[in-house]
């Protein structure tokens, strides 16, 4: 389907993400790969070696192409990153449609984001490019907006709440990824505690010391930590919904 818009007038990667032909501006023999194969190879490269590996020369080498040949498929690294993000996030989760179960749906959506970042840790390193414009990312947005508007929020409130959950999920996923990759000695190790506890008491950190002794001062973000923070966020959204209900009831009474 043609939209009548020149792909070169669109942000990088948008036309290709929607299955419309892009324009590379490069001449040469007929491409031996598809854009989908290029993106799949880029995802494999990032999964193996991280976000820093997503360079055009490295991708060309992985595909057995020359440095110039890669531009027959994508115009730039920016375009590549848009397509890689679309593939990495993948299809949106199916959520509960019942308005009374919006918390369950919002929890599932947020957890699905964290899970995707566990599968593709480099997702949290992708540069922010504004509001979603590609099919998968727009579907992720649409399903959470349906959840919130179905529960009683207006579209503007819904998108603001969706952004809050999005930021929470990305931050949690990023910190958990960093902790796994750094592999630092645990603050709960015997050596660390024997070193720190006397200093904590001596220099006035009694609450931290008590948490450390009770094994509650940790460098691990587990599921209970994620649930605790998410519950606080959802409680706030619940308060917004309750405020809206009181407002509408007052308007009806008038």
Mean pLDDT by 10 residues, the chain (254 residues): 73 92 56 90 97 96 94 94 98 89 97 97 94 97 96 96 98 92 74 92 95 85 93 96 73 59
Q: Say how many C-beta atoms besides its own lie within 10 A of residue 85's C-beta.
A: 23
Exposure string (b/e) for 88-106, b if CB count within 10 Å is 16 or more? bbbebbebbeeeebbbebb
Please say whether the beta carbons of 35 and 41 come within 8 A: no
- Gap between the Cα atoms of 116 and 123, Å rounded: 8
Tell me the C-alpha to C-alpha distance, in Å, between residue 254 and each of 92, 201, 243, 250, 251.
42, 61, 17, 6, 5
Structure confidence at residue 65 (pLDDT)? 94
Please say whether the beta carbons of 148 and 101 come within 8 A: no
Q: Per the structure block, which two tokens stand in for 13?
A: 């990667």
| CATH number of the domain where residue 158 is located | 1.10.357
Structure confidence at residue 27 (pLDDT)? 46
Structure confidence at residue 5 (pLDDT)? 78
Nearest to 238 by CA among 169, 171, 161: 161
End-to-end CA distance of the chain: 51
Q: Are residues 67 and 137 in the same domain?
A: no
pTM of the model: 0.88
Please say whether the beta carbons of 98 and 146 come within 8 A: no
Q: Are residues 33 and 63 in the same domain?
A: yes
Is 208 a domain residue?
A: no
Structure confidence at residue 248 (pLDDT)? 62
- Gap between the Cα atoms of 15 and 116, Å rounded: 24
- Gap between the Cα atoms of 235 and 225, Å rounded: 16
Q: Are residues 79 and 110 in the same domain?
A: no
Structure confidence at residue 247 (pLDDT)? 59
Q: Are residues 64 and 109 in the same domain?
A: no
Nearest to 237 by CA among 169, 159, 173: 159
Nearest to 87 by CA among 44, 53, 26: 44
Is 69 a domain residue?
A: yes
Is 15 a domain residue?
A: yes
Which spans in the chain are helix H?
A: 14-17, 35-49, 56-63, 77-89, 102-119, 135-151, 155-182, 190-203, 206-213, 223-253
| CATH number of the domain where residue 47 is located | 1.10.10.60
Domain of 43 in residue numbering reads as 7-89
Q: Are residues 132 and 47 in the same domain?
A: no
Q: Of 65, 89, 113, at which residue does a domain stop?
A: 89
Query: φ, ψ for residue 127 (rounded to 5)?
Result: -65, 145
Q: Are residues 80 and 109 in the same domain?
A: no
Q: Are residues 39 and 84 in the same domain?
A: yes
Q: Are residues 67 and 26 in the same domain?
A: yes
- Number of domains into which the chain is organized: 2
Structure confidence at residue 189 (pLDDT)? 82
């Amino acid at each position: 389907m043609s939209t009548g818009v020149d792909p070169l007038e669109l942000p990088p990667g948008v036309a290709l993400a929607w299955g419309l032909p892009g324009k590379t501006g490069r001449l040469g023999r007929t491409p031996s790969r598809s854009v989908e194969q290029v993106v799949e190879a880029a995802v494999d490269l990032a999964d193996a070696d991280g976000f820093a590996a997503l360079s055009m020369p490295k991708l060309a080498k992985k595909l057995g192409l020359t440095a110039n040949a890669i531009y027959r498929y994508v115009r730039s690294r920016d375009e590549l990153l848009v397509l890689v993000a679309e593939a990495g996030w993948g299809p949106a989760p199916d959520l509960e449609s019942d308005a009374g179960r919006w918390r369950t749906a919002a929890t599932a959506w947020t957890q699905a984001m964290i899970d995707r970042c566990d599968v593709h840790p480099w997702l949290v390193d992708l540069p922010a490019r504004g509001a979603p414009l590609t099919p998968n990312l727009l579907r992720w947005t649409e399903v959470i907006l349906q959840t919130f508007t179905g529960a009683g929020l207006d579209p503007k409130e819904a998108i603001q709440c969706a952004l809050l959950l999005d930021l929470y999920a990305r931050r949690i996923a990023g910190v958990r990824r960093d902790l796994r990759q750094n592999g630092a000695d645990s603050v709960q190790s015997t050596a660390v505690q024997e070193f720190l506890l006397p200093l904590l008491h001596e220099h006035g950190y009694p609450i931290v010391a008590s948490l450390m002794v009770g094994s509650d001062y940790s460098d691990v973000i587990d599921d209970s930590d994620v649930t605790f923070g998410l519950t606080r966020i959802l409680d706030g959204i619940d308060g917004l919904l309750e405020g809206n209900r009181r407002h509408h009831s007052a308007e009806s009474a008038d």
